[in-house]
Chains A and B, each alone.
Chain A
C-alpha cells in the first residue's frame, strides 16, 4: 500500500498534519507530524517523512514543478540535519511515517477532506 498525493487538489489546510500529530502524540502539534504541507502560491505540496539520513545531501538546488521553481529540500522526503521538519521540536529525534500501523490506516488520509491524499495498492 502507498499514499498517493495529488498536489493539484491540496488546499493547504494542514488537517493531515493535525491528524498525524493527534494520532501519534495525543495532542495537536504540526511540528510533531510525519507529514508536512508546503504551501505555495499556485499549488501546495504535502510531503511524507521518509527514512532519516545522517548527513545533508549535496544535491540541493532548484527543481521545476508545474512551471514553478521549487527548492529541492521542499520536495525531498528525507528527514536530515539540514531540515527543520520531521523532527521532534524539543529533542530533535527524527520522525518517520508508519502508515499508522499494520494493516495501514493512515490518519492523514482519513482527515483529508479534498481527497488529495488517498491510500492505494502498490
Chain B
C-alpha cells in the first residue's frame, strides 16, 4: 500500500490491552486521513452527548498518507476527541517528530479508549506496544516527563543515544492531569496540540504520555514524479519572498505587523494596539533578543519554529517559541511588553501543559475584572492589573487548581459568570479567541464564530494574504478556506506553509504522487466540505446549535478598533447560504445528499 500503512492501533486503557485492526478502505477513500478519519471515527463510535472527561470519550492520534512521506511540511498529526472546553468535536494539530514516528511504527491511527485505573504511559516501538505504570512521572512538567521516559527507554529497550534522539513523545503536564479544561497535549519539548483542551481528555484517561519510535517505511507510488515535484517546489520557494521571511522570522514578523496595522489583540480586546509592542515592529529585534537557532518540524524545509533563550537562572537554557499567538495573547492582551516576561509566560504554559491562547484570554479577563472592581483582591491574594507579572502565579494556580485557579480551570464562561460579567470573557463556544482582532477584518469574526471547534484561527485562514483582501468575497473565502484546511488537515499538511507564504494547491499533487490515487482540487474541496459538515452534525447532536455561532458583545457592539464592529448577523445569513444550510445553521437534506451524508443527518435535519 502506498502512503498509508493500512493499520489502526487500538489501546483499551481500562483493560490494559492493545490490538491492531485493518484500516477500512472507505475511510481512506472518503476521509483520506488525519482530521477526516478522526471526525468520522468519533461520529461512528461515540455518542456526541457524553461527558468529554468521562471514560466513553475516545482519544485519537491520527496521521495521514503524507505524514512522514517526505512531502515538504508533512510531519503533522491530528488529535481528535470531544472537547471538554467547547463540547464540540476537536481536532488540534501538532508538529515535531511524533507523527512521523507513529507512521514509521506501522500505524495510521492510534486510538485510546476507556480509562486506566492508575496513571500509565505507553511506548510504541514498531509492533512492540507496552503500557507502563507512570507512578513517579505523574505530577512532572512536560519536559521532565520526556527526559524521564527517554531514560526508561534507554534501559528497557537498550536504545543508544541515536535511537533516543529519533523518538517522538506526546505528553501532558500538571494541567492535563488536573483536568484543566484548556490543557494541551505537548510534544517534543514545546510543540502542542494546543486548542480545545484535549490534554484534559488525556488526563481523564490517566494517560501521562505516549512515546513512539518507528523503524519502518512509507512507500511512495510514483518515486520519480514525487522527487521531481519536490525539487520544483523547492525552486519555487527559493524565489518566494514571503517564504524567505517565514524561514527567517517564523511567526515573529506578525506581532509587529498586527500592532502597526492596529489589529492586535490588546488589553482583553479593548484595543488593537499596544504601545509596548512598537519596539517589536522590526522582527530582527525579537531575533536578536531571544533566538538560539531555527528549529524545523520533521520533514519541513521551512523551519518557522525558533528556539529561544532568556537570561534567567530559574528558566532552562533554551525553550521553544514563543509564537505570534502567544506573544499577542499572553503579551499585548495581558499588558505585558517585556520579551523576557512573555517568554516566561510561554515557558510556564508549555511546561504546565496549557493552551497559551485560552490561558491568555482567561488571564486578561481576570485582569479586567480586577481593574473594574468585580474581582476582589482577597479572592486572588494579590493585585492583578494589566501588565502585572503576578499572572505567573495565577498560571501556576490554574494548572494545579489551587485557590481561584480551581474555578478558572473550568474555563472562561464559568469564571466570568461567577463574577457577574460573562461578557468580559473573549471567547467563542468557551474557547478564547486568537491574536488578530476581529474588528480589523469582518472575515476574522465570521471565521472565529463559525469554527467547528470553538474560537480558533487554525481552521480557516487569514484574510490578508494576496487574493483574499476583497471584502465582497470574505464570506465565500471563509467557506472555501475552511474546506481547504479540513482537506489539508487530512493529508496531513501544515497549513501554515501551504496556506500562508506559499499559496498553492500542492495537496492534490503530493497526494497523487504518494498514494498513486489521483485526486483533483475538486475532489479535495468536496472532501473538506464533507468533513466540515460531518463535524457540524456531530456538534448539532451534542447540542451545540447555530446559536453558538456568536462573538462576544465587545466585538459585535463596541467599536474598539478602527471604529467598527463585526456585523456578524448579516455575515451569518450569507455564510449559511454559501454552506447550503438553513437559517438556523443546520445543513439541508440537499447539501447532505451532495456529500453522501444523508444517513448521518437523520434526526438532526
Residues of A at the B interface (CB closer than 8 Å) are 8-9, 11-15, 18-19, 21-23, 25-32, 36, 38-39, 41-44, 71, 73-74, 82-85, 89, 110-111, 113-114
Contacts and interface: CB of A to CB of B under 8 A. Distances in A.
Given A22-B227, A28-B217, A42-B292, A74 B300 contact: no
B220 A30 contact: no
A41 B307 contact: yes
A42 B218 contact: no
B166 interface: yes
A110 B298 contact: no
B294 interface: yes
Given A26-B223, A27-B220, A28-B69, A15 B161 contact: no
A88 to B, nearest CB: 10
A113 B70 contact: no
A113 B215 contact: no
Interface residues of B, number: 41
11 contacts: A11-B303, A14-B299, A22-B70, A27-B217, A27-B220, A42-B293, A73-B160, A73-B161, A84-B163, A114-B247, A114-B301
A111 B296 contact: no
Nearest to A29: B217
A73 to B, nearest CB: 6
A25 B161 CA distance: 25
B355 to A, nearest CB: 24
B292 to A, nearest CB: 6
B318 A15 contact: no
Nearest to B237: A113
- Interface-centre pick from A30, A73, A85, A89 (highest chain B CB count, 10 A): A30
Interface string B204-232: 00000000000111111001001100110
A36 B300 CA distance: 16
Interface of B: 68-70, 72, 104, 159-163, 165-166, 215-220, 223, 226-227, 230-231, 234, 237, 247, 292-303, 307, 317-318
A29 B161 contact: no
A13 B293 CA distance: 13
A14 B68 CA distance: 10
B162 A84 contact: yes
B67 to A, nearest CB: 10
Given A11-B293, A27-B218, A29-B217, A39 B165 contact: yes
B215 A89 contact: yes
Given A38-B162, A113-B234, 9 more contacts: A15-B299, A15-B300, A18-B70, A22-B70, A26-B220, A28-B68, A28-B218, A29-B216, A114-B247
Contact of B300 (A13, A26, A28, A39): A13
Given A18-B70, A41-B307, A84 B159 contact: yes
B217 A13 contact: no
Contacts of B295: 11-12
